[in-house]
Chains A and B, each alone.
Chain A
Amino acid sequence: MEILLKPWPWYIAGPLLALTMFLLIMLGKRFGMSSNLRTLCTLCGAGRHSDFFKFDWKSQRWNLVVVAGVVLGGFIGSNLLSSDTSVAINPNTVVKLQALGFESAGTTYLPKELFDVEVFSDVKGIILLILGGLFVGFGARYAGGCTSGHAISGLSNLQLPSLIAVIGFFIGGLFTVHVLFTLIF
């Protein structure tokens, strides 16, 4: 039990993510989280404005059920399966983050500067969260998948388009962290 409550090492988590993908494959489905964002658009009536959202959302109901499970999984992981949720990142990373003004680095699960409820009164923090979300949603659909659909499912099936997408993920991510962060923070 003690070991379950500590953070899980990569060599446990990676195989368990592969298991998640295989369970869905064996149920005749495919592992991909970002398609749910499209389904949510359709549920909100986006089909009136673009044919991209005109599809039978019921065919994707199973994936919305998966997502509902993911939400409860986050609750259980955080509240029942963790004695301490601080993330022990590399001490060098902590130094870099503190230099950028992230005082909470190394002591919390997410940076307080962006994910404490106080962010709702911080214009800059809210704008960054909005921009992050917009790019994630737009980019995932433009690329036809996200980390689960391209990086894990696509690369597991040796798909060249997925490799290109993942290279893109890294170009974007490296640019944000190494260029944008030095300008914004």
Chain B
Amino acid sequence: MRTLAYFLIGLFFGIVLFKSEAASWFRIYEMFQFDAFHMYGIIGSAITIGVIGIQLIKRFNIKSFFGERIDFAPKEKGIRRYLFGGILFGLGWALAGACPGPIFTLLGAGFFPILVVLLSAVLGTYLYGLLKDKLPH
């Protein structure tokens, strides 16, 4: 039952990514050229609603569907890992025109060269795991 719920949420997310064109390389390029409001509108409205919703969950101590307490673990403090990691991610995001969610969407949409991006992203994650202790965090 829960598994079906996760699958349907993913299905919904995948459709939204495709139909909003957030999975389009062109939209990412256009965003980094500041030529359109589209991507900023998507991310900005999602965050605005997200901030309000999370505040409501915290204030009114809203429980999960299963009646459990909802905890929001704060991200570990730090600057370097977020800045350096973020920059590297951004370089790849603009080049491949896809972040991890859209990579899977595009695979389903039948753009097979995205498999190269997916396998390289898995390899990149693996390389991070190997080099983790040598990097500034």
Residues of A within 8 A of B (CB): 7-29, 33-34, 36-38, 40-41, 44, 46, 49-50, 52-53, 62-63, 65-79, 81-82, 87, 89-90, 92-93, 96-97, 105-106, 109-111, 114-117, 119-120, 125-126, 128-144, 146-148, 150-162, 164-178, 180
Contact = CB atoms under 8 A, between A and B. Distances in A.
Interface of B: 2-3, 5-33, 35-51, 53-54, 57, 64-66, 68, 70, 72, 74-79, 81-101, 103-114, 116-130, 132, 135
B84 A142 contact: yes
A73 B119 contact: no
Given A28-B70, A129-B116, A97 B83 contact: no
Contact of A15 (B31, B45, B81, B105): B45
A100 B123 CA distance: 29
- State the majority secondary structure of interface residues on B: helix
A11 B127 CA distance: 38
Nearest to A100: B29
Contact of A77 (B25, B49, B77, B109): B109
14 contacts: A10-B20, A27-B66, A28-B68, A37-B125, A38-B129, A41-B122, A65-B6, A65-B10, A66-B9, A76-B108, A93-B35, A131-B120, A135-B93, A159-B75
